[in-house]
Amino acid sequence: MKPAKLHYWILGCFSMALCCWCTSDKFHQSDSHPHTWKKLYLAHHWPVTVCKTAANDCQDPPEYWTIHGLWPDKSEECNRTWHFNVTEIKDLMSDMRRYWPDVIHSSLNRTHFWKHEWEKHGTCAATLEVLNSQKKYFGKTLELYQHVNLNGYLQKAGIKPSSTYYQMTAIKEGLTKFYGVTPKIQCLPPEEGEKAQTIGQIEFCFTKELQLRNCTEPKGESSRLQTDLQLGTRELSVCNDTLPVYYPSQVQHRK
């Protein structure tokens, strides 16, 4: 081999080796990548609480817990070019409208809520093969919702909407004992003049193998991003164990 050709051959081999080393290092450091996640949150919300401060066409909300979303922790909007296409979930439409409705905007023709959930969360969950299409993502979320059957558990436990208050610890301990894992429960904080928080959302966590796991984080680890549900000027936050809990049975708009 001539010296000139040998020089270019060696240079080319060195460049390829350097490229492979960089790629290997990139994957080795993948835990710090912004789109890396470790668990999924299946969020149920209570439609009456969702409507509590909504100043729009939120009327006659379902009287059962509905799906808010399926959210990977620590990642959002992983592929902004992968747009929502409602035709991909046309076979799921009946269950979507029943169990995953847009509570605030009740028109059956509205799909903005599902679009938001797919583009913000579904595009990140799609790193799993079982969630790597819109039909798989929405379909599997519906399956998990049915598997958890939160409505069925609450009914059996006698925890139902009431004008009387519940103790937060009783609800939390009951859920943990029944499911064998610790969920994340969120409430609206008391308004001025109120003494009770209002239950609004219950989240169950799943591993990447879609097995239930605790939602609690080890000390030193941060939890998922703040919930994207905001009601009026108030946001849901983790319920206070020391405050009574209101589980409202009907919408009572502020005057």
* pLDDT given for residue 151 in this prediction: 98
Report helix, strand or coil for 110.
Answer: coil
Q: How many residues does the chain have?
A: 255
User: Global pTM?
Assistant: 0.81
Distance between CA atoms of 170 and 129, rounded to whole angstroms? Answer: 38
Tokens in use for 10? 């060696």
List C-alpha distances in Å: 117 to 71, 196, 231: 8, 30, 17
CB 76 within 8 A of CB 101: no
Identify the CA nearest to 235 among candidates 203, 205, 192, 200: 200
> Does residue 117 carry a catalytic annotation?
yes
| Annotated active-site residue in 117, 192, 203, 217 | 117
* Strand pairing report for 184-188 and 197-206: antiparallel
Residue 221: pLDDT band by 50, 70, 90 thresholds?
low
Angle at 95 between CA 94 and CA 100, to 5 degrees: 120
| Annotated active-site residue in 68, 88, 191, 194 | 68
> Structurally, what CATH architecture does the domain formed by 40-216+232-246 represent?
Alpha-Beta Complex (3.90)
* pLDDT given for residue 28 in this prediction: 33
Distance between CA atoms of 61 and 96, rounded to whole angstroms? Answer: 15
Express each pLDDT in 74-112 by its tens digit.
888 999 999 999 999 999 999 999 999 998 887 766 799
Tokens in use for 108? 């059956």
- CA atoms within 13 Å, Cβ hemisphere of 154: 18
| Annotated active-site residue in 44, 45, 119, 121 | 121
Cα distance from N-terminal residue to C-terminal residue, the chain: 89
- Write down the mean pLDDT value for the chain: 83
> Does residue 83 carry a catalytic annotation?
no
* pLDDT given for residue 3 in this prediction: 52
